């Protein structure tokens, strides 16, 4: 598979969405190869919250989150029958891809979300697309819980950045991207597709380069 890097949102690991994780794993088995970056989800938030109450510094909270992403990545890897270790860096992931023709990883270093890691991996592998499989079906022009919020099917890197940084919206609120991810995507011209894991067939349309329901950032 020389297709997109897949960023699998950690929220798929919540108890309410476990069935979607199982279906995703079953479907990805049918792909020839895959580059998959896995988020931390509930386990990361829970452990980070505990550490924060204990007074840990943000750097160490990030490190806790990274460990959670690697735990989730290990679980997915084992479920797929992969016995190789989860790489801890982009360089290690690239080497593993050359040998095994597939790679599953979590976070790499403090300050980098797994979405940003997926963009860096796409750069390193010369992939032109990242598919962000997350818990929202589209980007919206405002908080999607607000009545009248409209779906955005196509948006530029610049406009997406403005949405994140706008005072009205709040930094990153209900937004499945971050500034670093957008900056990486923009500098290398990497297209970002945003789809919901709650519609597995549609998510794999996006992964396989077919017409899909969701948002494209380019």
pLDDT at position 170, please? 40
Q: What is the pLDDT of residue 168?
A: 52
SS (H, E, C) 68-100: HHHHHHHHHHHHCCCCCCCCCCHHHHHHHHHHH
The residue-averaged pLDDT of 84-90 equals 92
Q: How far apart are CA 109 and CA 210, in angstroms?
A: 33
> Which pLDDT value is given to residue 175?
62
List Cβ neighbours of 98 (8 Å cut-off, separation of 6 or more). none
Query: Token digits for 206?
Result: 């996006």
> Residue 143 — very low, low, confident or very high, per pLDDT cuts 50/70/90?
confident
> Residue 174's pLDDT is what?
44
What is the CATH code of the structural domain delimited by 5-217?
3.40.1160.10
pLDDT tens digits, residue range 17-72?
Answer: 989 999 999 999 988 789 999 999 998 989 988 989 999 998 999 999 999 999 99
């Amino acid at each position: 598979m020389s297709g997109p890097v897949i960023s699998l949102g950690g929220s798929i690991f919540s108890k309410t969405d476990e069935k979607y994780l199982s279906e995703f794993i079953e479907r990805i088995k049918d792909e020839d190869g895959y580059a998959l970056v896995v988020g931390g989800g509930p386990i990361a938030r829970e452990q980070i919250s505990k550490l924060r109450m204990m007074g840990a510094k943000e750097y160490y909270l990030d490190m806790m989150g990274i460990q959670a992403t690697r735990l989730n990545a290990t679980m997915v890897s084992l479920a797929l029958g992969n016995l190789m270790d989860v790489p801890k860096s982009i360089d290690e992931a690239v080497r593993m891809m050359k040998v095994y023709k597939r790679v599953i990883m979590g976070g790499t270093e403090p300050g980098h979300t797994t979405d940003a890691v997926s963009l860096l991996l796409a750069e390193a592998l010369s992939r032109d697309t990242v598919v962000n499989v997350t818990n929202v079906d589209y980007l919206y022009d405002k908080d999607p819980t607000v009545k009248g919020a409209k779906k955005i099917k196509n948006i530029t890197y610049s406009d997406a950045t403005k949405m994140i940084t706008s005072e009205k919206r709040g930094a990153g609120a209900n937004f499945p991207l971050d500034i670093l991810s957008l900056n990486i995507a923009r500098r290398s011209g990497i297209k970002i597709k945003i789809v919901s894991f709650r519609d597995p067939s549609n998510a794999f349309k996006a992964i396989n380069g077919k017409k899909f329901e969701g948002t494209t950032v380019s």
